[in-house]
Amino acid sequence: MSLQTRCELALPHWLESFVADWPEPLQTAEQRMRLAIALSAENVRHSTGGPFGAIVVEEDSSRLIAVGVNLVTTAELSIAHAEMVAISLAQSAAGNWNLGHATATQLVTSCEPCAMCFGAVPWSGVSSLIWGANREDAEAVGFDEGDKPANWVQSLENRGIRTQADVLREEAAAVLQKYAKKEGAIYHPGAGIDG
Amino acid sequence: MSLQTRCELALPHWLESFVADWPEPLQTAEQRMRLAIALSAENVRHSTGGPFGAIVVEEDSSRLIAVGVNLVTTAELSIAHAEMVAISLAQSAAGNWNLGHATATQLVTSCEPCAMCFGAVPWSGVSSLIWGANREDAEAVGFDEGDKPANWVQSLENRGIRTQADVLREEAAAVLQKYAKKEGAIYHPGAGIDG
């Protein structure tokens, strides 16, 4: 038997220079979200995955630690949501699974986290989470957000993770709508589409 | 700025030969669970991560598709729970993010999935999920299972994913207890331990 012993999360090739050329600072929630949304839009434009982008920044210094985009259909990994990619690359960059090990960090995602990404947030060590589009926006174009606890926001807050919803929501939702019009794959088993 | 562009999930070196030498078939739930538990125990013995193991098998043929162990502290990735590793390696082996793309598959995990892994199960395409130790067993030794919907089992069943709890529960829980006695790191930010 030959056992699969490794797999990789790797950002698409367009991404590094796109981020290097990003002109804006990342000081405010809106500035941070603008980059996350831009990543989601570029990911659609380059057909490198679903319409979702995320970044991890240091809360105080606004230093960018890592970015992520949805890679499900290109990496052939169902866990490769933008948030999971950003969290994992941030931890790899830091050499530490706990993104709160040195200083407070924030996860910024272009869309409300699904059930998996919601569950991943407390394990990551981030201190705060902000999102753009929400569940309704994602579901309106056919995505499945999964089953979260009804009080999922309070659950994060109870764990000391601050949250902020609806940051540039319309701009973020517009990328989802554009993706749906492009007939991008809605890649979950329930959708009956084999990615 | 130098951007982290990739990271890897890689099984520990002891694992490939351990699985190759595994003597039992994987036909029954108990046989499958015995391998998942053995992986959890070996992971503790080799100090390569937390006390959790998982496998993905084809339901009908009982063919082993992939295995996983918890790699959080060794890979420095908070998402590297045994279930996430097994799912991702199975998808890499298949070259398809949907583990139901060809035939029905089962995820077998030594412990009830946490909130993140629960959320990941429907996206993976597996048709069924069985687990050994449960939430109480994990929390009794200090692990945090996260906040799942109260009806999380029904949620999976509603999505067509069959479930079976408490398969060799005592054997699975014994590994958790052994890990706790060995004072293994309880690696989540709330535990106040920097992994």
Chain B residue numbers touching A18 (CB-CB < 8 A): none
Parallel/antiparallel/unpaired status of strands A162-164 and A128-133: parallel
Beta bridge partners of A55: A67, A108
Nearest residue of B to residue A127, measured between CA atoms:
B189
Chain B residue numbers touching A6 (CB-CB < 8 A): 8-11, 89, 92
Is B3's CB within 8 Å of A9's CB?
no
Chain A residue numbers touching B118 (CB-CB < 8 A): 115-116, 119
B163-169: average pLDDT? 98
B5–A contact, CB cutoff 8 A: yes
Is B98's CB within 8 Å of A195's CB?
yes
ipTM of the complex: 0.94
Mean confidence (pLDDT) of chain B? 94
Mean pLDDT by 10 residues, chain A (195 residues): 92 98 97 98 96 98 98 97 98 98 98 98 98 97 96 98 98 95 67 40
What are the φ/ψ torsions at residue A106 (nearest 5 degrees)? -125, 135
Give A17 to chain B, closest Cα distance, Å.
Answer: 9
Nearest residue of B to residue A152, measured between CA atoms:
B147
Nearest residue of A to residue B100, measured between CA atoms:
A189
Q: Which pLDDT value is given to residue A76?
A: 98
Confidence of residue B193 (pLDDT cuts 50, 70, 90): very low
Q: Which pLDDT value is given to residue A1?
A: 53
Q: Which pLDDT value is given to residue B115?
A: 98
Residue pairs between chains A and B whose CB atoms are closer than 8 Å: 216
Residue pLDDT, tens place only, B95-129: 999 999 999 999 999 999 999 999 999 999 999 99
A103–B contact, CB cutoff 8 A: no
Confidence of residue B1 (pLDDT cuts 50, 70, 90): low
Residue pLDDT, tens place only, B3-47: 999 999 999 999 999 999 999 999 999 999 999 999 999 999 999
**Interface test with chain B among A2, A4, A92, by most B beta carbons within 10 Å:** A4
Q: Would residue A16 show up in a list of annotated catalytic residues for this protein?
A: no
For the cut 70, the answer to whether the pLDDT of residue B184 exceeds it is no
Chain B residue numbers touching A116 (CB-CB < 8 A): 116-120, 123
B25–A contact, CB cutoff 8 A: no
For the cut 70, the answer to whether the pLDDT of residue B190 exceeds it is no
Q: Which pLDDT value is given to residue A182?
A: 82
Q: Which pLDDT value is given to residue B194?
A: 34
3-class SS letters over chain B: CCCCCEEEEECCCCHHHHHHCCCCCCCCHHHHHHHHHHHHHHHHHCCCCCCCEEEEEECCCCCEEEEEECCHHHHHCCCCCHHHHHHHHHHHHHCCCCCCCCCCEEEEEEECCCHHHHHHHHHHCCCEEEEEECHHHHHHCCCCCCCCCCCHHHHHHHCCCEEECCCCHHHHHHHHHHHHHCCCCCCCHHHCCCC
B103–A contact, CB cutoff 8 A: no
B84–A contact, CB cutoff 8 A: yes
Residues comprising chain B, all counted: 195
Nearest residue of A to residue B151, measured between CA atoms:
A149
Q: Which residues of B are catalytic?
A: 83
Chain A residue numbers touching B114 (CB-CB < 8 A): 119, 123
Nearest residue of B to residue A96, measured between CA atoms:
B76
Q: Which pLDDT value is given to residue B185?
A: 61
Q: Which pLDDT value is given to residue A102?
A: 95
A123–B contact, CB cutoff 8 A: yes
Q: Which pLDDT value is given to residue B188?
A: 61
Q: Which two tokens stand for residue B110?
A: 């030594």
Which residue among B72, B119, B187 places its CB closest to the CB of A115? B119
Chain B residue numbers touching A95 (CB-CB < 8 A): 76
To the question of pTM greater than 0.90 for the whole model, the response is yes
Q: Of B59, B114, B57, whose CA–CA distance to B86 is shortest?
A: B57
Q: Which pLDDT value is given to residue A188?
A: 61
